Amino acid sequence: MSTSSHTELPALARAGHAAHCKRCLSGLPGSQVEVDGARLALSFYCIGSLDLLGVFFEKTSQFDREEWREWIWEQHISGKYGTGFRPSPFMTTAGIAEGYEYTDYDTPHIIMTYTALLCLAILRDDFSRLDRTGLTTFIRACQREDGSFSTVPGSGEFDLRTLYCAFAISSMLDDWSGINVPRAVEFISTCRTYEGGYGQSPFCEAQGGTSYIAIASLHLAPSSFLPNGPLTPAERELTVNWLLQNQAPSGGFKGRTNKEADACYCFWCGAGLHILGAKEFVDKQALAGFLASCQFKYGGISKAPGEHPDPYHTYLSLAALAMYSPYTEGAEGNEATWQFESLDPLLNAKESTARWAREHIPARSIATTGHGVGVE
């Protein structure tokens, strides 16, 4: 353990990062209009950051939390492709109570559905309103011939991200009946490249984000579908090697060979290594040093030093730190600000949140408690 860089680590500006996320939750300027079709995902990064910082219940009011819960459930919509969550009502003209049914242009979205479930788990919702059967129908409606998943039913927009969401949702539901798993696994393998990482779709260059997605998906899938394990030993070795190669001398991770380090890849590559059991090889002091330099002076974390912060990079940086915290038991001063509760790398949520999801989302949770209200 090197201790020289230890002492130089500045404080993690926890309050500033929490304030940045709270600000975004309360409203975004018109210049952020591109988020319109992904508001639930952005909300997840904000709520998730507060959760990782351990201040979610302390920094939000009971009143706000109730309203947010209601708003998220308003995005839970049922129709001809089944049930899921839409990104926001950006294509919606009336409330469900008014008999509104979704059209082909306002369907649930698979990425938003995954983030909505995690948001609700952070809010400690009991999931009594979740239409579980409708959810598996929806996942099935998103799977394509080649095993991949489209973002919304019938759209040709697909890549590995959507496949991961389908796997994560099925894992939380503890019900894989919505997926043709062998076909999906086959699709993942066509995205693997000679470098040891995975591209976004077949033939594409290895990239940190999609490599995490592939690795996590292969480890989420029930082992009965993977008789030879998620990866062969040789594949695993090459992948670990490539992921480690992405840690730059600055301590940050690159998303692709010969690119610049970027805060979000500290999570994507770091979580991939964690899942593959290679966590110990990451230089976490250097990683924290890089993320420290990505802190924006008025709160929030940006992709690289000197850039503007956003909830996406803030969340993923904190999630990376929850796996690779430089904090040592009993430390004081600046180092004490880097302490985190550990993270579930497969679902990308704080362990206690992931546990809540796994306890309350499966159908059996209703069977055992009557109304889906958890015993804990």
Partner 1 sequence: MTSPADVLYADNPAWADVTPLPQYEGVNPLAPILYTEEYKDATDYFRGIVKTGEKSPRVLELTEKIIRLNPAHYSAWQYRFETLKAVKVPLEDELKLMDELAVKYLKTYQVWHHRRLLLTESYNLEPKRELEFIAKSLKADTKNYHTWSYRQWLLAFVNDGELWVGELDFVEEMLNEDLRNNSAWHHRFFVVWLGGGGGGMGVGGTREEKERVLRRELTFTKQLISLAPNNPSAWNYLRGVLDRTETPYGLILPFVRLYIVNLSDRAGSTDIVDVENPPPSEGAQLPCTAALEFTADAYERQGDDEGRKKAVELWKVLANEQDTIRKRYWEFRIRGVEKKVGA
Toward Zn ion, which CB reaches closer, 166 or 292?
292
- The nearer residue to partner 1, 35 or 168, going by C-beta atoms, is 35
* Interface residue with partner 1, options 121, 122, 276, 286 (CB under 8 A): 286
DSSP 3-state assignment of 125? coil
Binding test (CB under 5 A) with Zn ion, winner from 152, 264, 271, 343 = 264
Helix, strand or coil, per DSSP, at residue 287: helix
Calpha distance 45→245 (Å, rounded):
27
- The residue from 9, 38, 269, 316 that contacts partner 1 (CB under 8 A) is 38
Q: What angle do CA 299, 304, 307 make, to 5 degrees?
A: 60
> Per rule CB under 5 A, is residue 262 in the interface with Zn ion?
yes
Select from 61, 224, 258, 367 the one that contacts partner 1 (CB under 8 A): 258
Find tokens 């062998």 and name the residue. Answer: 182
* Binder of residue 86, out of partner 1, Zn ion, none (CB less than 5 to 8 A by kind): none
Is 145 an interacting residue with respect to partner 1 (CB under 8 A)? no
CB atoms within 10 A of CB 156: 7
User: Token digits for 311?
Assistant: 């909830």
Nearest distance from C-beta of residue 148 to Zn ion, angstroms? 23
Q: What is the 3-state secondary structure (H, E, C) of 257-281?
A: CCCCECHHHHHHHHHHHHHCCCHHH
Give me the amino acid identity at 216.
Answer: A
Site membership for partner 1, residue 71 (CB under 8 A): yes
Q: Total residues at the site for partner 1 (CB under 8 A)?
A: 72
Q: Centre a 10 Å sphere on the Cβ of residue 353 and count the other Cβ atoms it contains.
A: 26
Q: Is residue 257 part of the contact set for partner 1 (CB under 8 A)?
A: yes
Binding to partner 1 (CB under 8 A) within 301-360 occurs at: none
Q: Identify which of 245, 246, 292, 249 has the alpha carbon closest to the alpha carbon of residue 265.
A: 246
Give the containing element (helix H, strand E) for 228: none
* Interaction pattern, residues 171-210, with partner 1; x per rule: CB under 8 A: ----------------------xxx---xxxxxxxxx---
What span, in angstroms and rounded, lies between the C-alpha atoms of 362 and 110?
A: 18
Does residue 303 interact with Zn ion by CB under 5 A? Answer: yes
Q: Which pair of structure tokens corresponds to residue 66?
A: 């109730």
Shortest spacing between CB 311 and Zn ion, in angstroms: 12
Q: Which of 40, 135, 173, 213 binds partner 1 (CB under 8 A)?
A: 40
The CA-to-CA distance between both ends of the chain, in Å, stands at 39
CA distance 150 to 372: 30
Here the tokens at position 90 are 């950006």
Contact letters for Zn ion, residues 198-237 (x by CB under 5 A)? ----------------------------------------
174 binds, among partner 1, Zn ion, none (CB under 5 to 8 A by kind): none
Closer of 176 and 242 to partner 1 (Cβ)? 242
Written as one letter, the residue type at 13 is A
> Which of these segments, 21-29, 143-151, 176-184, 296-304, binds Zn ion (CB under 5 A)?
296-304
Which residues would be at the binding site for Zn ion (CB under 5 A)? Answer: 262, 264, 303
